[in-house]
Amino acid sequence: MKKLDKYGLCKEEYTDNNLIANVYYKRAIGKMPEMESSKALSKIVKKYLKENDRIADVGCACGHYYYSLKKIIKKNFFYTGLDPYDVFLNKAKIAWKNDKKAKFVKGNILNIPLPKKNFDIVYASNVLIHIHKSDRAIKELMKITKKYLIIRTVVYDVSYKVQLVYNNKWWKYTDIKPVNEFDKNGNPRSFSYFNILSFDYIKETVKSINKKAKVSFIKDNFYSKSKIHKSIKKEKRPLATRIIGKEQFSGALMQPHYFVIIKL
Ligand SMILES: C[S@@+](CC[C@H](N)C(=O)[O-])C[C@H]1O[C@@H](n2cnc3c(N)ncnc32)[C@H](O)[C@@H]1O
């Protein structure tokens, strides 16, 4: 039996994951340093944002990227965060309870419950990596975007469909023993996708949805190696990002992260 939930993720990865939720919550209230990727993404958003624009953050967790946006953007804007998991949303609502310009909605990237063409800027950071149906996710994101869609994900010359396989020796949220990692057909029982999408796949998928859309890629080289390594120690999270040479790694996987900019 596969252990994927209705959002296509490993059942144990996020559903009750208070460890990760606490890290995101502390970032959202400024009690832990911002992520390097959230600072980098905020700078890109700042470039495109106009007074009174509406922003959607798909896969927002606790709204910790909103903290970075507010820190560097002085124009007025309205923020909507979307996530399927209550473990994150409940904390997001506490973190931002006094902020009238922020709201949080429960929903799935594969069927986004937000109005069409409603947001000037939409972004999804570190979400597509885990989603089985990337084309469907891109289509849904484009559906709600008016001007700019920014996707931060792992991109390379060719695509790889990678499954990270859990067992209870290193991942306390699963009950699968190492000996049972794979079922009798050789498929993992408890896993998350760690997709790498090719430049060509992304470009052609976007074009197949909207011929006029323009796609560009910005390599995420904006991180500070020492800050990332400091944060690994604080977070105590298995497989937290680390830097080898100039590349980001999670466990054994090299993860060349890009900001994919889609102009509609
Ligand atoms: C690795 S976290 C990234 C959180 C944040 N965007 C960041 O970059 O730090 C992935 C996020 O995507 C959310 N997510 C997972 N499956 C999703 C789905 N089907 N639709 C929307 N969000 C999803 C998770 O709940 C989680 O908040």
pLDDT at 15: 55
Sheet holding 242-244, edge to edge: 242-244, 247-250, 253-254
Q: What angle do CA 256, 261, 264 make, to 5 degrees?
A: 155
Residue whose CA is closest, atom 27 of ligand 1?
A: 61
Report the nearest-CA residue for atom 3 of ligand 1. 126
Residues framing ligand 1 (Cβ under 6 A) = 7-9, 14, 35, 37, 58-59, 61, 83-85, 88, 108-110, 125-127, 130-131
**Residue 184 Cα to ligand 1 middle (Å):** 30
pLDDT, residue 30, reads: 97
CA of 32 to the centre of ligand 1 (A): 19
E strands, 22-162, are: 53-58, 77-83, 102-106, 119-125, 145-156
What pLDDT is stored for residue 237 in this prediction? Answer: 64
Nearest residue (CA) to ligand 1, atom 22: 59
**Which ligand 1 atom sits nearest the alpha carbon of residue 37?**
8
So what's the pLDDT on residue 17?
A: 75
Ligand 1, pocket-test mutation among 127, 129, 138, 152, most atoms within 8 A of CB:
127
Q: Which atom of ligand 1 is nearest to the CA of 124?
A: 6
What structural domains and CATH numbers belong to the chain?
A: 18-263 (3.40.50.150)
Mutate which of 83, 88, 136, 241 for ligand 1? The one with the most ligand atoms within 8 Å of its CB, which is: 83
Instruction: Give 180 Cα–ligand 1 centroid separation in angstroms.
Output: 27
- Look-up: residue for tokens 């959230």? 38
Looking at residue 58, its pLDDT comes to 98
pLDDT in tens, 70-112: 999 999 999 999 999 999 999 999 999 999 999 999 999 999 9
Residue nearest to atom 23 of ligand 1 (CA): 59
Distance 126 CA to ligand 1 centre (A): 7
**Rg value, the chain, Cα:** 18
* Residue stretches of the chain with pLDDT short of 70: 1-16, 228, 231-237
Write down the pLDDT at residue 57.
98
Reduced to 3 states (helix: H, G, I; strand: E, B; else coil), residue 234 is helix
Determine which residue's CA is closest to atom 13 belonging to ligand 1.
Answer: 59
What pLDDT score does 16 carry? 60
Asked if 57 contacts 77 with a C-beta cutoff of 8 angstroms, the reply is no
Q: What is the residue with the minimal CA distance to atom 1 of ligand 1?
A: 126
In this prediction, residue 246 carries a pLDDT of 86
